Amino acid sequence: MPDAIRIQQRKRIPKWLRMKLPSSSAFTRTRSLLEELNLHTVCESAKCPNHWECWSKGTATFMIGGDRCTRACGFCAVNTAKPLPLEGDEPERVAEAIFRMKLRHVVITAVARDDLTDGGAGHFQATIKAVRRRNPGIAIEVLVPDFLEKEEALQRVLDAKPEIFNHNLETVRRLTLSVRSRALYDRSLSVLRKAREGGGGTVYTKSGLMLGLGETEEELLGAMEDLRLAKCDILTLGQYLQPSSCHLPVAEYVLPVKFEEYGAKAREMGFRYVVSGPMVRSSYHADEFQLPPKD
């Protein structure tokens, strides 16, 4: 896409990205419940554009470990600051919220906690176990940081047996250092590979890529191929949107038809499940994933 068009599009969000905010009593109930139980969500902390829709449907993506991240990624709106101590009762509060919301599929993520020896993996494990006790039969999806690729930390999460282990590659190799804080492209691929191996064949691995940061089509397809080589099962592709003027600018608004094209190519590569569209995020409509039995 010519630079002149890119610059012009940065000033005006295209019509396919303009959303009408839903009005629903479920939104108020969801917000009240989260406030009552003093829980954080990535929906609010990361300024997700879909949070009005998701809360209006009575669902949310829980963010554990506090709302202060030890990393400062150029795309993310989550606050970067010295974290507070972990709250020991947070796993039970998350479990209670899920029970009251009557969720069948839940996504649990966390801020990066590089201040902790295990990167917060033990807190993930405790939360998964608490959710499972309170909500038998629920499908649990975790969206985790890289834990600096500490194998013991990764195994702690896997030992709790989430159905889906998600770690986002976020962008292509060339842009990783400018987009992600303290993250390495090959480390993320290794984390996904090790999760697949350490999951004992019972966990699906998942990753996501943001489009519109300045990547080329060749680079994007290369990143998708790298994920397949890491035996990643599920892929999400979505449009990067600048959460504030302090964050990385949008280089390009990718047309919906291109998302369809990239989604088709991803399926041809062998991903078991692909969701590709401008408003797609890692946990958007996650409960609609219909996964086939593992081989």
Q: Give the model's pLDDT for residue 3.
A: 41
In a domain, 252, yes or no: yes
Single-letter amino acid, residue 273: Y
- Give the pLDDT confidence of 94-107 residue by residue, as tens digits: 999 999 999 989 99
Phi and psi angles of residue 17, each rounded to the nearest 5 degrees, phi first: -105, 0
The answer, as to whether pTM is greater than 0.85, is yes
More confident residue, 109 or 27: 109
Single-letter amino acid, residue 119: G
In a domain, 37, yes or no: yes
CATH number of the structural domain spanning residue 44: 3.20.20.70
- Give the pLDDT confidence of 216-253 residue by residue, as tens digits: 999 999 999 999 999 999 999 999 999 888 999 999 99
In a domain, 60, yes or no: yes
d(CA 277, CA 279): 6
More confident residue, 279 or 193: 193
In a domain, 5, yes or no: no
pLDDT at 162 exceeding the cut of 60: yes
Phi and psi angles of residue 291, each rounded to the nearest 5 degrees, phi first: -90, 135
In a domain, 6, yes or no: no
Q: Give the model's pLDDT for residue 272.
A: 93
Q: Which DSSP string corresponds to 107-165?
A: EEEE---TTSTTTTHHHHHHHHHHHHHHSTT-EEEEE---GGG-HHHHHHHHHT--SEE
Domain that holds residue 245: 25-287
In a domain, 178, yes or no: yes
Closest CA to 110 of 155, 166, 48, 65: 65
d(CA 131, CA 204): 19
Region 260-265: mean pLDDT is: 98
Please count the structural domains in the chain.
Answer: 1
Residues contacting 68, CB < 8 A, separation 6+: 79, 80, 81, 82, 83, 84, 111
Task: Report how far apart, in Å, the C-alpha atoms of 70 and of each of 100, 113, 145, 244, 248 are.
Answer: 31, 6, 11, 19, 18
Closest CA to 75 of 183, 216, 222, 162: 183
pLDDT at 52 exceeding the cut of 60: no
pLDDT at 185 exceeding the cut of 50: yes
**Which token pair is 276?**
């590709």
Region 47-67: mean pLDDT is: 70
